[in-house]
Structure 1
Amino acid sequence: MKKGLIHHVELYVSNLNHSIKFWGWFLKELGYSQYQKWENGQSWKLEDTYIVFVQADERFLDIPYHRCRVGLNHLAFHSDSKEHVDEMTKKLKEKGINILYPDQHPFAGGDDHYAVYFEDPDRIKVELVAP
Structure 2
Amino acid sequence: MDPDHADPDYAGHLHHVELCTADLAASVDFWGWFLDEFGYERKNEWNSGRSWSNGPTYIVVKEAGNSDHPFDRLASGLNHLEFHAESREQVNKLTTDIRERADSRVLYEDQHPYAGDYYALYCEVPEGIKIEIVGPNE
TM-score bin (small chain): over 0.9
The match for 2:116 is: 109
Q: Distance in 1 between matches of 2:113 and 2:95?
A: 9
Q: CA deviation at 1:95?
A: 1.7
CA offset digits 1:87-120 (Å, max 9, x no partner): 111111122331000000000112xx10001112
The match for 1:70 is: 76
User: Which TM-score applies when normalising by structure 1?
Assistant: 0.93
Question: Which of 47, 52, 59 is residue 55 of structure 2 equivalent to?
Answer: 47
- Which portions of structure 1, spanning 4 or more consecutive aligned residues, are displaced by more than 6 angstroms? none
CA offset digits 1:44-94 (Å, max 9, x no partner): 10001000011002xx21221100111100010000111110111111112
Structure 2 counterpart SS, 1:51: strand
Q: CA deviation at 1:2?
A: 0.8
User: Which TM-score applies when normalising by structure 2?
Assistant: 0.89
The match for 2:14 is: 6
% identity of equivalent residues = 46
Matched residue pairs, number?
A: 127
The match for 1:28 is: 36
Q: CA deviation at 1:29?
A: 0.8
Q: Distance in 2 between matches of 1:13 and 1:24?
A: 14
For structure 1, the residue ranges without an aligned partner over 5 or more in a row are none
Q: Distance in 1 between matches of 2:123 and 2:98?
A: 8
Structure 1 counterpart SS, 2:105: coil
1:82 paired to 2:77: no
RMSD: 0.9
The match for 1:120 is: 125
The residue type equivalent to 2:111 in the other structure is: Q
The match for 2:26 is: 18
